[in-house]
Amino acid sequence: MTALAAGSAGLAHATTYTYTLHGPYYEDGTVPNSDVTLAVLWVDGAILRFTMHSDGATANTTIFTSSTPAYQVLWNASSFLNFTRIIDFTGDVSEEYNIYIPSPSTPSGQYYFSVTDFANMENPYLQTSISTDGLTSHVVERRSLNTTGTVTFVMAQYATYTLAIQSNLGTLTQVFTAENVFSINLPVLAGSFPITNSSMPVFTAQRLNSSLIGISYSDPSSLTDWLNVNITHRSGTVTIYDYDTNNTGSSQTILWNGADNDKAYVVTGMAQINGAQTIWIVQVPHTASSNPWSGVFDFLGQNIPTLPNTHTGWPANMTSAQIAQLVAAFVILFFLSIGSFRSVGACCILSWIIAGVMLYLGWFGGGTVYASIPEFALAGFLSILIILDEGKSTVREA
């Protein structure tokens, strides 16, 4: 065991913070013969860099203490791909983690998770965890959502992780398999967390990616006899049943991975609670059209979390999906520029129509038809005012 005293301590404080790190490990629990470079960042700006070595049989353990709290540890998860993993500390006086790196024989990638908060969370974190023995869960990465709603995790392709959103409202978990969708939306609904001091059951359903629909059921009273869930979609005037399951238990999570991205679904839940039946009907919309320019311009530079965290080419935290919208922006600007030669008002209306087409195609506005409706409506209103003002100017000149 190696003990490192962090050199970040300034004035003496009564509280001593202890951080224990074990590793490195592969995600299946085996010990590699590898060196991993880590950096621990303190709230006072100090940085401690060190290397953990494992000999293929025994992992290393590093313990360091400080009178000043650290807020983050990051390490090189893949020297070949220059991927970095990060754990944001929670602020507890004692924290302990395993340092995991993906196996070099397994393809790995960066997965972007965008969390949309409809539940008014305070101090939320998003973390991934795995269990190598089927009993104990270990944190792989954790990021704070206080300053950004989009975080990046390094995941081994086709590996299964547990995603957990932790906040003052509780912990919301779901299983996630790292497949071929690298940008994932995670809406946190108002009823997603268990309701304190209430016996009302909560049923939610949402699309997790293009093919995965997640269903959550929680009955705080624990009086549920059974829960039936079916998923349907419409083909013309015909209702087609895609999935049906009947389970017992007052807390259930159901993942259906057979959805088509161009179909909207209806999820119906029927629960018998203490002899009485309750029904929920939830609409799950289709996935928005993907942007064909996604990833095309990433060679010009993208955000790369290294030691220390740096970025090249684009503003910090700019994702591939945002970079891909530049094509639509240039097309809209092109039509706007025509106005200097003829009619500014007509040009604004034309550009507004082009922006609507781009929005519908998924090239602009975040990739969904409804992503920027307030801004789109405001742009149309201003365009109408401009063309009206231009018409009045023409009348006065005549």
Flag whether pLDDT at 196 surpasses 70.
no
The model's confidence at residue 333, banded by pLDDT at 50, 70 and 90, is confident
Q: What is the CA radius of gyration of the chain?
A: 26
CATH class of the domain defined by 1-103: mainly beta
Question: What pLDDT does residue 1 have?
Answer: 40
Residues 91-133: tens digit of each pLDDT: 888 999 999 999 888 888 899 999 988 788 888 999 999 988 7
Region of residue 371 (phi > 0: left; psi between -120 and 50: alpha; otherwise: beta):
alpha
pLDDT band, residue 339 (cuts 50/70/90) = low
Choose between 35 and 9: higher pLDDT.
Answer: 35
Share of the chain above pLDDT 70, in %: 81
Q: State yes or no: pLDDT of 324 exceeds 90.
A: no
The CATH class of 106-193 is mainly beta
Residue 308 has pLDDT above 50, yes or no: no
The CATH H-level (homologous superfamily) assignment of domain 199-290 is: Immunoglobulins (2.60.40.10)
Taking only the tens place, the pLDDT of each residue in 153-174 is 999 988 999 999 998 888 888 8
Q: What is the mean pLDDT of residues 326-334?
A: 83
pTM for the whole structure: 0.50
Predicted pLDDT at 149: 87
**pLDDT tens per residue across span 208-261:** 777 888 888 888 778 889 999 999 998 877 889 999 999 888 888 888 888 887
Question: Domain residues of the chain, as ranges?
Answer: 1-103, 106-193, 199-290, 325-397
Instruction: Specify the pLDDT at position 171.
Output: 86
**Residue 3 confidence (pLDDT) above 50:** no
Quick one: pLDDT at residue 372?
57
Residue 298: the pLDDT is: 66
pLDDT band at 336 (very low <50, low <70, confident <90, very high): confident
